[in-house]
Amino acid sequence: MGRMFGTDGIRGVANVELTPEIALKTGRAVAALLKEQQGSSRPCFVIGMDTRVSGKMLESALVAGITSAGVDVHLLGVISTPGVSFLIRHMKAAGGVMVSASHNSFQDNGLKFFNNLGHKLNSELEEEVERLYFQEADFMPRPSGKEIGRSYHGENAVEHYLSFLEGCAPPLRGIKVVLDCANGSLYHIAPSLLKQLGAEVTLLSGNPDGLNINVGCGSTNPAVLQETVRKVGAHAGLAFDGDGDRLIAVDEKGELVDGDAILAICGIHMKEKGLLTGDTVVATVMSNGGLEMVAREKGFQVLRTRVGDRYVLEKMLKGGYVLGGEQSGHVIFSHLLPTGDGLLTALQLLKVMVEKGVPLSELAGVMPRFPQILVNCPVREKDGWQENPRLAAALEQARKRLGTWGRVLVRASGTEPLIRIMVEGENYDLLHELSSELALMIGEELGQEKQ
């Protein structure tokens, strides 16, 4: 049996690797399983999507699959991934799906499924979906007549999500911000909300055409945002990704404020206000060691998980923690919403700025940083790299050379044919040398077909 789900749902080139047939069959399987779990005779599902040209194609296939399982569907149109998560709970739905490939280019698309709590499906349920998908005989129920599900347009439901965000926001009169919406899910929501809160908004990448999502813009390409913040004299810049679940900020000097810095800023503020449950922030193994240093100084701890916001949330829920996230800008305020939300994170960051009355550069400056080098290595096969003896020996030697304060991490990407290397330590020249050696070795061992 193949493996369909990666670290963030199902993803692939639209209409090639991720086809309407796959969307129909997986939608039917997920709907049938969640319907059975909920025990409702007539549950509903919600579907949202980003601005990719393939979104409507996959949405139509999902509608067919979900309604064939006897589940009604509410179509939200273009909305962020966290917006889908929020509206599942608000509408008491059995589950939902976001059609998006996040920060990937427009050719790709993906399916992110959620349960009735607005949480991404756990590994056990994903495995059950795959079992149903690949089994030879179709044992899933096929309701008929009036039991077939129906679809409805539910764009008005988005107003409830905006009301929720507004309730989490400070007044922003006198605050000047630059927004980079990546030509994605937040292109209409984010500027409208911030203007309503009183902010002066300069908008970048807010004209999606189905093909330009994430192209030279957004949280993975913030250079234009940095330049614009300096040019217009903004207090902050805010860059989202294609589906709006992550944020990379820019301070008033045009310097980047990544997810680690946001965790530090919000963690300190919540600790000071007595709101940081368990005096703990959850981060991943990729987060900079400087986050742990400032945490110790300010009286809280950092717990690390494997890479992926789902694993961050799992540890947060298990320990009852309220703040966690990733360096890439996925930040979760679990007491507000059970998933990363770029716009909610932006509002919380602006709230700290407003309440403390200090510039973002000063807030971000409290976190020291170890030099860190990240390298992505294209490979022919990303699975099984741990069994390569030459690479294992090189990693052991690299860790010895980095010493007590150094770290080296190698992992396979959950969504792309890549092996990712992260090297962190005190000596940048040594980091550059080690990362180059490891990347070369991975290329030799895994990057091309051996003759």
**Residue 90 is assigned to a structural domain of this protein:** yes
The per-residue pLDDT for 124 is 92
Instruction: Mark whether 135 and 183 lie in a shared domain.
Output: no
CATH number for the domain harbouring residue 233 = 3.40.120.10
Instruction: Mark whether 350 and 203 lie in a shared domain.
Output: yes
Instruction: Calculate mean pLDDT across residues 409-428.
Output: 86
* pLDDT band, very low/low/confident/very high, at 207 (cuts 50, 70, 90): very high
**Residue 347 is assigned to a structural domain of this protein:** yes
For residues 112 and 121, the answer to whether their CB atoms sit within 8 Å is no
Is pLDDT at 260 greater than 80 in this prediction? yes
Angle at 116 between CA 111 and CA 121, to 5 degrees: 45
Give the distance from CA 46 to its chain's centroid: 19
Is pLDDT at 450 greater than 70 in this prediction? no
The per-residue pLDDT for 412 is 85
The per-residue pLDDT for 2 is 54
Instruction: Mark whether 49 and 118 lie in a shared domain.
Output: yes
* pLDDT band, very low/low/confident/very high, at 1 (cuts 50, 70, 90): very low
Where a domain ends, among 317, 336, 364? 364
What integer best gives the mean pLDDT of the chain?
Answer: 93
Instruction: Mark whether 149 and 181 lie in a shared domain.
Output: no
**Residue 328 is assigned to a structural domain of this protein:** yes
**Residue 262 is assigned to a structural domain of this protein:** yes
CA separation for the pair 106, 52 (Å, rounded): 6
Counting the structural domains of the chain, the total is 3
Which distant-in-sequence residues (6+ apart) come within 8 Å of 354 by Cβ? 170, 171, 172, 175
CA separation for the pair 162, 407 (Å, rounded): 41
Instruction: Mark whether 262 and 327 lie in a shared domain.
Output: yes
**Residue 75 is assigned to a structural domain of this protein:** yes
Instruction: Mark whether 355 and 208 lie in a shared domain.
Output: yes
The per-residue pLDDT for 277 is 96
The per-residue pLDDT for 138 is 82
136 secondary structure, DSSP code: S
Instruction: Mark whether 283 and 339 lie in a shared domain.
Output: yes
Instruction: Calculate mean pLDDT across residues 18-42.
Output: 92
Instruction: Mark whether 40 and 176 lie in a shared domain.
Output: no
Say how many C-beta atoms besides its own lie within 10 A of residue 14's C-beta: 23
The per-residue pLDDT for 141 is 86
Instruction: Mark whether 312 and 285 lie in a shared domain.
Output: yes
Instruction: Mark whether 350 and 286 lie in a shared domain.
Output: yes
Which pTM was predicted?
0.88
* pLDDT band, very low/low/confident/very high, at 310 (cuts 50, 70, 90): confident
**Residue 3 is assigned to a structural domain of this protein:** no
The per-residue pLDDT for 415 is 67
- For residue 26, the SS3 value is helix
Tell me the two tokens of residue 165: 């965000």
> Where is pLDDT greater, at 42 or 284?
284
- For residue 350, the SS3 value is helix
Instruction: Calculate mean pLDDT across residues 263-268.
Output: 98
As annotated, the active-site residues are: 102
> Where is pLDDT greater, at 448 or 22?
22
Is pLDDT at 18 greater than 90 in this prediction? yes
User: pLDDT (tens digit, 9 = 90+) per residue, 47-70?
Assistant: 999 999 999 999 999 999 999 999
**Residue 4 is assigned to a structural domain of this protein:** no
The per-residue pLDDT for 449 is 52
Q: What is the DSSP string of 180-204?
A: E-TTSTTTTHHHHHHHHTT-EEEEE
Instruction: Calculate mean pLDDT across residues 366-387.
Output: 88
* pLDDT band, very low/low/confident/very high, at 25 (cuts 50, 70, 90): very high
User: pLDDT (tens digit, 9 = 90+) per residue, 217-255?
Assistant: 999 999 999 999 999 999 999 999 999 999 999 999 999
- Residue 404 CB burial class (10 angstroms; 0-12, 13-18, ≥19): exposed
Which of 75-89, 199-213, 437-451 bottoms out in mean pLDDT, i.e. has the lowest? 437-451
The per-residue pLDDT for 448 is 59
Q: What is the DSSP string of 215-272?
A: TT-STT--HHHHHHHHHHT-SEEEEE-TTS--EEEE-TTS-EE-HHHHHHHHHHHHHH
Instruction: Mark whether 308 and 386 lie in a shared domain.
Output: no
The per-residue pLDDT for 109 is 97
Instruction: Mark whether 381 and 352 lie in a shared domain.
Output: no
Instruction: Calculate mean pLDDT across residues 371-382.
Output: 88
Which distant-in-sequence residues (6+ apart) come within 8 Å of 340 by Cβ? 82, 245, 246, 309, 325, 326, 329, 330, 331, 332
Which domain range does residue 122 map to? 10-157
Residue owning tokens 């807030």: 363
Number of H helices, E strands in the chain: 14, 18
